[in-house]
């Protein structure tokens, strides 16, 4: 049985990736063809000709006036997926239609609905407004991960691994040694994990971007909206500097780290990452540094999780794990994901 929840919204791409040209990406095992129409709207249809299954993203398929002409036999489709021409005859079979996918472009992402289109409601898509807000500057990217998406969820819900896997970048001893608080909003299906370090070393990721040189107050507040959107609200300030009672927080640095965790297949994942900051907005050096540093950190995770996938895949049935306090948030996420996928969570031991 699949572990990938259906009837869900997933990030398929950044809006910037999709222009007036054919673009293909596999989401939850479904190969989807995208392009931006003359009206500026992103359209998403199945990337397989209904005739002989030729991938429409492959040359010599071409896009002509918002119509896709299959490079194999010339079946021609409109942006609504409807076939408008077939070779050698005037009658177009009524069933000649590409399935279409509901699409919402929001917060720099192109979201696609995987499942029954009747159930798609764009208002339920979780938001990440910082990624396009004028008072934030964002750097972002996407790395392919040769591991199941659940391993990335485990990784991001337990940031104590920063101390070991990402030492010298974002990890310091205090991350692993500071207790967490975990909260689950069952009705909304959201997992919160909070780690508040009152007096911590400032890792290079933040010292070089903020200019802070001494010890810091570092807050990591995770908000995970399964299955796809993960947000880390990061607050950095000199030790002892707290928000004002009314909530204003002008003396702190805020970084919103956003991940979109999109299954490509059962065993591979699109790892979208974005870092939005509310300081040094026009400093291109800071942008370049944060982009390079975060990509390095993501690739450290990718290397570790690719190895882990090979191990877990070889031990698929009934492998044993040990869970401790740091895993409370990850266990919460697993249970919600299992519920969304309609199955049972892998039983773990402690």
Partner 1 sequence: MHWVPGSDRLRAVCHCSAARDFEDPVALWDWLLAHPSGHRPAVPEPTPVPAAAGVS
What does the binding site for partner 1 look like in residue numbers (CB under 8 A)? 179-183, 186, 323-325, 327-328, 331-332, 335, 348-350
**182 or 293, CB closer to partner 1?**
182
Q: Are strands 30-36 and 23-27 parallel, antiparallel or unpaired?
A: antiparallel
Distance CA 198, CA 174 (A): 10
Helix (H, G, I), strand (E, B) or coil at 291: helix
- Please give the structure tokens belonging to residue 13: 């791409």
> Residue 329: enclosing H or E segment and its boundaries?
helix 328-340
**186 or 292, CB closer to partner 1?**
186
Distance CA 335, CA 207 (A): 37
> Residue 234: enclosing H or E segment and its boundaries?
strand 229-238
Q: Give me the least distance between CB of 101 and partner 1, in Å please.
A: 34
Q: Give me the least distance between CB of 218 and partner 1, in Å please.
A: 17
**104 or 180, CB closer to partner 1?**
180
**124 or 181, CB closer to partner 1?**
181
Q: Give me the least distance between CB of 177 and partner 1, in Å please.
A: 11
**24 or 178, CB closer to partner 1?**
178
**220 or 328, CB closer to partner 1?**
328
Q: Give me the least distance between CB of 329 and partner 1, in Å please.
A: 8
- Residue 170: Cβ-neighbour burial (10 angstroms; 0-12, 13-18, 19+): buried
Q: Give me the least distance between CB of 160 and partner 1, in Å please.
A: 11
Q: Are strands 253-265 and 109-114 parallel, antiparallel or unpaired?
A: unpaired
Asked whether the beta carbons of 294 and 139 are under 8 A apart, the reply is yes
- Please give the structure tokens belonging to residue 131: 């990624």
- Please give the structure tokens belonging to residue 10: 């997933």
Q: Give me the least distance between CB of 174 and partner 1, in Å please.
A: 14
């Amino acid at each position: 049985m699949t572990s990938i929840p259906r009837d869900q919204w997933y990030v398929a791409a950044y809006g910037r990736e999709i222009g007036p040209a054919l673009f293909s990406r596999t989401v939850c095992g479904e190969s989807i063809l995208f392009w931006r129409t003359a009206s500026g709207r992103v359209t998403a249809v199945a990337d397989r000709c209904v005739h002989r299954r030729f991938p429409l993203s492959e040359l010599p398929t071409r896009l002509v006036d918002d119509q896709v002409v299959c490079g194999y036999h010339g079946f021609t489709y409109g942006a609504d997926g409807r076939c408008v021409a077939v070779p050698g005859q005037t009658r177009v079979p009524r069933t000649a239609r590409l399935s279409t996918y509901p699409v919402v472009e929001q917060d720099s992402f192109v979201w696609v609905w995987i499942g029954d289109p009747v159930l798609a409601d764009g208002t339920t898509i979780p938001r990440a407004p910082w990624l396009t807000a004028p008072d934030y500057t964002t750097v972002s990217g996407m790395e392919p991960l040769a591991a199941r998406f659940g391993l990335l969820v485990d990784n991001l819900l337990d940031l104590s691994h920063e101390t070991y896997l990402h030492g010298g970048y974002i990890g310091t001893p205090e991350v692993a040694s500071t207790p967490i608080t975990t909260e689950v909003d069952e009705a909304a299906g959201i997992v919160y994990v909070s780690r508040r370090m009152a007096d911590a070393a400032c890792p290079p990721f933040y010292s070089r971007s903020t200019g802070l040189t001494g010890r810091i107050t570092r807050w990591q507040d995770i908000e995970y909206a399964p299955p796809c959107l993960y947000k880390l609200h990061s607050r950095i300030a000199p030790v002892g500097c707290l928000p004002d009672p009314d909530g204003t927080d002008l003396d702190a640095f805020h970084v919103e780290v956003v991940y979109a965790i999109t299954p490509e297949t059962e065993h591979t994942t699109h790892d979208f990452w974005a870092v939005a900051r509310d300081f040094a907005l026009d400093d291109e050096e800071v942008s370049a540094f944060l982009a390079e540093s975060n990509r390095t950190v993501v690739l450290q995770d990718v290397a570790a999780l690719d190895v882990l996938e090979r191990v877990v895949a070889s031990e698929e049935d009934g492998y044993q794990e040990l869970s401790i306090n740091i895993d409370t948030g990850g266990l919460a996420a697993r249970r919600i994901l299992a519920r969304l996928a309609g199955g049972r969570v892998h039983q773990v031991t402690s």
